[in-house]
Each structure stands twice: as C-alpha cells, then as structure tokens.
Amino acid sequence: MSIVFILTLTLLGVASILFSLFLSKRKKGLFLAGKWILWAGFGMWSLELLLRTTKLGVIPVYDLRSSLFFWGWCGIFVYLLLQIKLRLTVLSAFVAPLAFVLALISSALPSVDGSLKPYLKGLWFHLHVIPMFLGISLFFLSSVAAGLYLWVDRALKNRKMKGLSSQLPSLAGLDQFGHYTVTYGFPLYSMGMMAGALYSQATFGKYWQWDPKEVWALVTWLLYAILLHERLALGWKGKKAATLTLLCFCALLFTYLVISHLEGGYHSFKSLSGG
C-alpha cells in the first residue's frame, strides 16, 4: 500500500469519527473540521487514482479490488458535490464511514495478476465506465437515504424518536435527497450503458452479446426506470419509493458482487486481466 493511500485512509477515518461525534453532540465545529478533512482525504484519494491510472494507462476497474477503490472515490466525489447544493450535513456521518470501509476493503483484497486486455485501454472503455460508476454512486447515496427514511419512519410510528433517530434529517429531506440522486443517477447509468453498447460494437462487432452482466445491468436499469416513472408520473414518495429504491440497489449489488464473478462472460473480472 502506498503512502498516499495510507494518508487517504487515515484522513477518511478521522473525518468519519468527527462526523459521528457531530451527530451525537451537534457542534458545528466538529462538522466543519470533518468536512475539510474529508476534502483533504478526497484530494489524496484523487492523487492515488491519478497515479494508478497513469501506471496502468486506464482507470483501475478491472477486478473487485480496483473497482471498489474507484467506486469509493466516485461516491465521495458525487456526495461532496451534492453536499454543496443540498447541505444535508447529517448524512456525512453515514457516507464517510461507508466510503472508508470501501477503501479499506479494496486495500485488503489481493490484486489480480496478469496484463490487461488491449481493448480495455481505449476511449470507449472510459466513456462506458466513468458514467456507469458515477450513476452507481448516486444510486448508492439514494439507498443510504432510503434506508434512513425507513428507519426514521418506523421510529416516528413507534414514538421512539430519541437518541440517533432524533438526530437524523426529516422524512421530507431524506425523500428529496433520494429523489434527487436517482434523477441524476439514472441518465448517467443510461449513458454508460449506451456507451457500452457502442464500445461492444466497435470492439467485438456486436451491440449486445447476452453477457450475464449485460443482462443484469439491463434488469437493474429497468427497475430504476420503473422507480423514476413512479416518482415522476405517479407522484410516488415516502415509504413506497424508499422500499423500491432499496430493491433496485439490491439488484445492482447482485450484478456487481455476484454476476461479475461468473466465468464465461467478457465482463467477468476473471476475463478482464490475463492473456
């Protein structure tokens, strides 16, 4: 592990602790300190990403270890941008620790030996991967908001709004954040899929190959399309929307953590390196 990434983990860990203390003590100074340390951690993470990309000649997403690394970076990137606009400060106490865990897991996993396939280093690959991961990161944030929504909703119904539950954002604020992240995540995810089809045509001569990950990515896209339709056309809010958001994210996790490890597909982590 490089010194840069050790510093990244350290800064993320400190920021997570400060945000957690802010959640319990509600002192603005703790949040401000955590925010600037998180920005510093993101800066170090960006430097590490640049170093790895320069060394490989491609954004590192070719195995579980490297893709978790990039996913965590994207998650912090989109959250910091959203934080400027929406200012849901309490969510930092959940997002920062989750990003820290992703970074920590990625550092502990073994790296896949072997050289990358030549077709992974083209422009189309980056046009496919970057929007996909940004969209997935926004979906991840929407699932955090959905989980917290259901938590607060249950606490209100059981009249147990004390302790941590009393410190969380309002139901309306969580619902707005969930809607906002899905609304922006869906077009990015769609752009990534379309670029992937064009990339497949340019590389293999086919837009669609019935690869297992292609199929499940489409299933996930359809689920999020249904969620967005229900929100925009039918006005779904609250518990229904939060529940469907979590269902969509479960499908996404299944695609990423299970389908990506199946042999036989060209999206499999095993097929992306070696040879």
Strands (E), 123-196: none
Q: What pTM, to 2 d.p., does this model score?
A: 0.87
Asked whether the predicted pLDDT for residue 273 surpasses 90, the reply is: no
In the predicted model, what is the mean pLDDT of residues 256-265?
A: 69
Report whether 12 contacts 103 (CB < 8 A).
Answer: yes
Mean model confidence pLDDT for the chain:
84
pLDDT tens, position by position, 232-258: 887 778 888 899 999 999 999 898 887
Residue 180, φ and ψ in degrees, nearest 5: -60, -45
Q: How far apart are CA 133 and CA 249, in angstroms?
A: 13
Q: Which residues lie closer than 8 Å to 139 by C-beta, 6 or more apart?
A: 181, 182, 185, 189, 224, 248, 249, 252
The confidence score (pLDDT) of residue 275 equals 43
Q: Percentage of the chain with pLDDT > 90? A: 36
CA angle 254, 260, 265 (to 5 degrees): 130
pLDDT tens, position by position, 124-149: 888 888 999 999 999 999 999 999 89
Q: How far apart are CA 151 and CA 138, in angstroms?
A: 20
150 vs 116, which has greater pLDDT?
Answer: 150
The confidence score (pLDDT) of residue 158 equals 75
pLDDT tens, position by position, 13-52: 999 999 988 888 778 888 899 999 999 999 999 999 999 8
pLDDT tens, position by position, 164-173: 656 677 888 8
Residue 152, φ and ψ in degrees, nearest 5: -65, -40
